[in-house]
Amino acid sequence: MHSGAIRRRLALGLAVLTASGLLAVAAPGDAQAATALCPGRKVRTLPFSTGTVLVYKRGGYVCAVTLPKRPGAPRKMSVSVQARGNRPVVDEGKYAHHAGPVTVHAGRRCVWLKGQVGRGKFSSGWILC
């Protein structure tokens, strides 16, 4: 391999590393954490008074995470996903940063999502039908 080809490959590698580093710094911490927790593409952002439920879909699977508006001290949080005709899958407890992820196989069925942070609650009704 010639020295010119080596330099081009090193320059390309450096450019890719620099771009990925800039993207990591530019992404908000909680959104970045939720993306790492749930596979697939984000299909819904469901805000409520004290937090947000983020919903991701990949294939026939639906994944959800509840994020507080103000992360910090542990407090009661929960997230629930229920595919129509099945029981809900729930994660609840005292968390500082997020509840979940919870994943269900929904196929093409509707799902019902619930989230809670402290006293604020959210319930979606049947969606993603």
Task: Note the pLDDT tens digit of each residue in 90-111.
Answer: 999 999 999 999 999 999 999 9
Amino acid at 22: L
Residues of the chain with pLDDT under 70: 1-35
pLDDT of amino acid 69: 96
Q: Considering the domain delimited by 29-127, tell me its CATH architecture.
A: Sandwich (2.60)
Distance between CA atoms of residues 54 and 32, nearest Å: 12
Cis status of the peptide bond prior to 101, with omega within 30 of 0? yes
Spell out the domain ranges in the chain.
29-127
